[in-house]
């Protein structure tokens, strides 16, 4: 069996089942189920079917004295195991395999849209993900009760992660003084989107950049420009960064721990088919001063949408998953993140979808993906 690393990091999970119901070892259940998710399993029935189809392959790695668990066993285990323990083990594992320095870690929430249960009145659950751009995988996930509670969930997840030396990015919902303070106390920097939920600061920064850009008053600005071409359009992004020390009239900045600069991103898009142009400005606050690092953090933030949330929905069917009983939705979401991280670390440039297919078709490739798990 090649799951020693898995045992090292996930064996701390307590088995919640009664002794008389333990026909299969908990680690074996998790190993089979996550191998199944690596191969595209989207339900507990899929896990059981996959296990039976790959029974000989699994027998080479785990004892399987009582055969492959049933779909009811997978469902019961995922419904009962403590998601906090599962999450802590997941974070310990991702921390151990993280290699990058000078990372950008993007925090963003996502709804598991089909996890609602009309019969019990349970709404769809939300999770907060932390995406490491340098490592190219998710380093942490936490369930939140609703979109507004990201504000309380983000500091909790931050405290569980090793973010020292990283740059933390988040959308405007998490642009909060307490969150900025937590980030600085953890030894990290931040680039936070600024919108109307911080109205006075937002209006002052917005007015300043609108005035200075229209009047050409740019001597205090650091400026960086980049161009992208694709999907039938040409986009030009100009990043303007001004040190807070150069804006003594800007009120309330002392309330934000570590705040050193404000930034504006001016995006101009030219639609080549219609020859129409649109312009948008977005605003940020940061504990950094260099425009190069701030612009990189802003660009990297979108990886959590493009490389994680999109993949979770398209390749793993997360939004369509109807798992909803007890702790099962949250635990299944963690299992998907584990599977995704394993596939991302498979060591080549093939897409996640292609790797999922290869794991189904090629036992040797599947072993290479889950063998180090």
Say yes or no: 14 and 111 in one domain. no
In this structure, the answer to whether residues 222 and 364 fall within a common structural domain is no
The model's pTM is 0.87
Residues 11 and 55 in one domain: yes
Q: In this model, does residue 1 exceed pLDDT 60?
A: no
Average of pLDDT values for 217-244?
Answer: 81
Is 166 inside a domain boundary? yes
346 and 254 in one domain?
no
287 and 248 co-located in one domain: yes
Residue 96 is predicted with a pLDDT of 83
* HEC secondary structure over the chain: CCCHHHHHHHCCCCCCCCHHHCCCCHHHHHHHHHHHHHCCCCCHHHHHHHHHHCHHHHHCCCCCCCCCCCHHHHHHHHHHCCHHHHHHHHHHHHHHHCCCCCCEEEEEEEECCCCCECCCCECCCEEEEEEECCCCEEEEEEEECCHHHHHHHHHHHHHHCCCCCCEEEECHHHCCHHHHHHHHHCCCEEEEEECHHHHHHHHHHHHHHHHHHHHCCCCCCEEEEEEEEECCEEEEEEEEEEEHHHCCCCCCHHHCCCCCEEEEEEEEEEECCCCEEEEEEEEEEECCCCHHHHHHHHHHHCHHHHHHHHHHHHCCCCCCCCCCCCCHHHHHHHHHHHHHHHHHCCCCCCCHHHHHHHHHHCHHHHHHHHCCC
Statement to judge: residues 125 and 143 lie in one domain? yes
Domain-located, residue 131: yes
Claim to verify: residue 152 and residue 294 sit in the same structural domain: yes
Same domain assignment for residues 240 and 300: yes
How sure is the predictor about 316, in pLDDT bands with cuts at 50, 70 and 90? confident
248 and 132 co-located in one domain? yes
In a domain, 318, yes or no: no
User: Phi and psi of 367, rounded to 5°?
Assistant: -65, -35
- Whether the predicted pLDDT of 61 surpasses 70: yes
Q: Which domain range does residue 255 map to? A: 92-309
CATH of residue 129's domain is 3.90.350
Say if residue 260 is in the same domain as residue 186.
yes
Residue 100 clears pLDDT 70, i.e. is over it: no
């Amino acid at each position: 069996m090649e799951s020693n690393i898995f045992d090292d990091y996930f064996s701390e999970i307590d088995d919640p089942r009664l002794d008389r119901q333990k026909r299969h070892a908990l680690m074996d259940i998790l190993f089979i189920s996550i191998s199944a998710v690596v191969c595209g399993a989207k339900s507990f029935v899929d896990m059981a079917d996959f296990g039976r189809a790959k029974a000989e392959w699994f027998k080479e790695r785990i004892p399987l004295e009582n055969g492959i668990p049933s779909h009811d066993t997978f469902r019961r285990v995922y419904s009962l195991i403590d998601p906090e323990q599962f999450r802590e083990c997941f974070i310990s594992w991702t921390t151990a395999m993280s290699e990058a320095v000078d990372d950008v870690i993007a925090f963003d929430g996502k709804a598991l849209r089909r996890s609602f249960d009309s019969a019990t009145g349970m709404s769809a659950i939300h999770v907060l993900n932390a995406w490491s751009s340098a490592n190219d995988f998710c380093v942490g996930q936490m369930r939140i009760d609703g979109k507004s509670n990201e504000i309380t969930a983000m500091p909790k997840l931050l405290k569980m992660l090793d973010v020292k030396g990283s740059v933390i990015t988040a959308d405007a919902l998490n642009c909060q003084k307490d969150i900025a303070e937590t980030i600085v106390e953890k030894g990290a920097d931040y680039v936070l989107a600024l919108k109307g939920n911080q109205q006075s600061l937002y209006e002052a920064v917005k007015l300043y950049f609108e005035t200075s850009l229209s009047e050409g008053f740019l001597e205090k600005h650091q400026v960086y420009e980049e161009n992208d071409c694709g999907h039938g359009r040409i986009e030009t992004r100009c990043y303007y960064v001004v040190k807070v020390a150069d804006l003594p009239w800007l009120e309330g900045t002392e309330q934000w721990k570590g705040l050193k600069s404000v930034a504006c991103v001016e995006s101009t898009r030219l639609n080549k088919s219609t020859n129409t142009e649109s312009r948008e400005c977005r605003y940020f606050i940061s504990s950094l001063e260099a425009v190069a690092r701030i612009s990189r953090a802003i660009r990297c933030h979108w990886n959590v949408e493009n490389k994680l949330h999109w993949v979770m929905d398209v390749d793993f069917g997360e939004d369509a998953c109807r798992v909803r009983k007890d702790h099962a939705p949250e635990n299944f979401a963690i299992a998907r993140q584990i599977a995704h991280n394993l596939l991302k670390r498979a060591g080549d440039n093939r897409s996640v979808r292609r790797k999922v297919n290869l794991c189904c078709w090629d036992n040797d490739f599947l072993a290479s993906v889950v063998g180090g798990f």
